[in-house]
């Protein structure tokens, strides 16, 4: 059998309540008795049982994280940000993958509740009304990470996707490049839709017509999808001088499809990605990209959640982190013919 708080109390010659007090610092304890307790704890090698503690206090010091897929580089990096701040505030992470399936996401909120997590960080490509409803029923503090609630009722930390794509497109326009292709994800996906909106806005502001033949949609944001889509439809965009891809992986897929036909960037087309994943610097040419503060997205989400949990004052329930454009070789114009 394992040591309990009773054993410590007996060993120290005090009551269990006192032990609890020195453990939690919930009340002042005389230095002398505190020392006795600490000694007893040390001697017995006692460690408090967090489960019992959770039951009695109704706070488990654990928070749930629901995300589509940890093995996705972007999510893994966000998660690292979450975890670091969680550790800092003494919270533990209970992690689950949703595979971006709505029903599973909803079910997971339920099992997270069963686990009595103190709060939830939710990462999804699409925060549907169903899901929002689930959050409200669950009565759990939730922070959306890298997404927003369209209705704005759930606290969130994200970037302004429309503005980011706008900036990306403007980057080319400002340099006199006007035939700009867009490689997006599924048209229904909010991120993809917002970015397309930014792309279109920049074009129309510049007085350019939207040329549908320059718009491609991959089935998701991964490399394989980018390669497949670009391979199949490269001819559509053959007139393009530049490509805005909504993820670094998609950009690379486009590039490799181009290479299959003997093309190269930036010589044949200027190429810009999204996310500034490690990939961007590992490639040759290095990839110009819109940097999302990936790690910070997670870190700030977790920080916001701690504020929610500790009822600290909160200025902003919906925070948008700044993005930036990082210029690298894939858009180096000097290299162009």
Q: Which is nearer to DNA, 54 or 285 (CB)?
A: 54
Angle at 90 between CA 86 and CA 95, to 5 degrees: 45
Is residue 109 part of the contact set for its own copies (CB under 8 A)? Answer: no
How many CB atoms lie under 10 A from the CB of residue 125? 18
Nearest to 122 by CA among 134, 264, 114: 134
Out of 29, 100, 113, 325, the residue judged to bind its own copies by CB under 8 A: 113
Q: Which part of the chain contacts DNA (CB under 7 A), choosing from 44-52, 246-254, 257-265, 291-299?
A: 44-52
Q: Pick from 10, 25, 42, 57: which binds DNA (CB under 7 A)?
A: 57
CB-nearer residue toward its own copies: 165 or 280: 280
223-249 per-residue burial string, b: 16 or more CB within 10 A, e: under 16:
bebbbebbeebbebbeebbbbbbbbbb
Stretch that binds its own copies, among 52-60, 162-170, 194-202, 326-334 (CB under 8 A): 52-60
The distance of closest approach from Cβ of residue 155 to DNA in the complex, given in angstroms and rounded to an integer, is 25
Binding-site member from 131, 279, 297, 319 for its own copies (CB under 8 A): 279
CA 39, 45, 47 angle in degrees (round to 5)?
105
The yes or no reply on residue 48 touching its own copies (CB under 8 A) is: yes
Q: Among 13, 15, 42, 84, which residue sits at the site for its own copies (rule: CB under 8 A)? A: 84
Distance of alpha carbon 142 from the chain centroid: 14
* Site string (257-276) toward its own copies, x via CB under 8 A: --x-----------------
> Is 15 one of the binding residues for DNA (CB under 7 A)?
yes
Stretch 116-145: interaction string toward its own copies, x if CB under 8 A: x-----------------------------
Q: Which is nearer to DNA, 71 or 139 (CB)?
A: 139
β pairing state of 288-291 and 324-326:
antiparallel
CA angle 190, 283, 229 (to 5 degrees): 45
Instruction: Decide if residue 296 touches its own copies (CB under 8 A).
Output: no
Which residues, listed in sequence order, are joined to residue 245 by a DSSP beta bridge? Answer: 183
CA distance 198 to 255: 23
- Interface with its own copies (CB under 8 A), residue from 278, 312, 322, 324: 278
User: Which among 254, 258, 301, 295 has a CA at the least distance from the CA of 278?
Assistant: 295
Tell me if 20 contacts DNA by CB under 7 A: yes
Burial code of 144-180, b = ≥16 C-beta within 10 A, e = fewer? bbbbbbeeeebbbbbbbbbbbbbbbbbbbbeeebeeb
Beta bridge partners of 290: 274, 325
What gap in Å lies between CA 211 and CA 186, rounded to an integer? 18
Among 10, 38, 44, 48, binds DNA (CB under 7 A): 48
Instruction: Report, in Å, the least distance between residue 311 CB and DNA.
Output: 15
Among DNA, its own copies, none, residue 26 binds (CB under 5-8 Å by kind): DNA
Which residue lies nearer to DNA by CB, 4 or 96? Answer: 4
Q: Would you say 163 and 175 are in contact if contact means Cβ atoms under 8 Å apart?
A: no
Residues that bind its own copies (CB under 8 A): 47-52, 54-55, 60, 62, 69-73, 76-77, 79-80, 83-84, 87, 92-97, 110-111, 113-116, 223, 249, 252, 256, 259, 278-279, 282-284, 295
Question: Which residues sit at the interface with DNA, rule CB under 7 A?
Answer: 1-2, 4-6, 13-18, 20-21, 23-24, 26-30, 32-34, 48-49, 52-53, 55-58
């Amino acid at each position: 059998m394992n040591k309990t708080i009773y054993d410590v109390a007996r060993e120290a010659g005090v009551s269990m309540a006192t032990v609890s007090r020195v453990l939690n610092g919930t009340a002042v304890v005389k230095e002398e008795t505190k020392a006795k307790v600490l000694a007893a704890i040390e001697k017995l090698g006692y460690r408090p049982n967090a489960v019992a503690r959770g039951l009695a206090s109704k706070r488990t010091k654990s928070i749930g994280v629901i995300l589509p897929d940890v093995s996705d580089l972007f999510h893994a990096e966000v998660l690292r940000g979450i975890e670091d701040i969680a550790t800092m505030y003494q919270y533990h992470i209970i992690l689950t993958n949703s595979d971006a399936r709505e029903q599973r996401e909803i079910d997971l909120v339920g099992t997270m509740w069963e686990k009595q997590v103190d709060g939830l960080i939710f990462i999804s490509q699409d925060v549907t009304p169903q899901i929002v409803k689930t959050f409200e029923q669950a009565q759990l503090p939730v922070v959306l990470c890298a997404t927003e609630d369209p209705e704005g009722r759930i606290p969130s930390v994200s970037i302004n996707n429309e503005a980011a794509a706008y900036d990306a497109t403007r980057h080319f326009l400002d340099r006199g490049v006007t035939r700009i292709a867009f490689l997006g994800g599924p048209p229904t996906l909010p991120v993809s839709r917002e970015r397309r909106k930014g792309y279109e806005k920049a074009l129309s502001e510049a007085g350019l017509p939207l040329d549908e033949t320059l718009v491609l949609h991959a089935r998701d944001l991964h490399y394989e999808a980018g390669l497949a889509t670009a391979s199949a439809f490269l001819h559509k965009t053959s007139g393009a001088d530049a490509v805005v891809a909504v993820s670094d992986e998609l950009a690379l897929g486009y590039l490799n499809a181009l290479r299959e036909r003997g093309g190269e960037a930036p010589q044949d087309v200027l190429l810009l990605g999204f996310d500034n994943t490690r990939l961007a610097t590992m490639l040759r040419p290095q990839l110009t990209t819109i940097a999302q503060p990936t790690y910070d997205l997670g870190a700030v989400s977790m920080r916001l959640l701690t504020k929610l949990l500790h009822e600290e004052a909160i200025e902003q329930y919906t925070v948008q982190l700044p993005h930036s454009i990082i210029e690298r070789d894939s858009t180096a114009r000097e290299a162009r013919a």
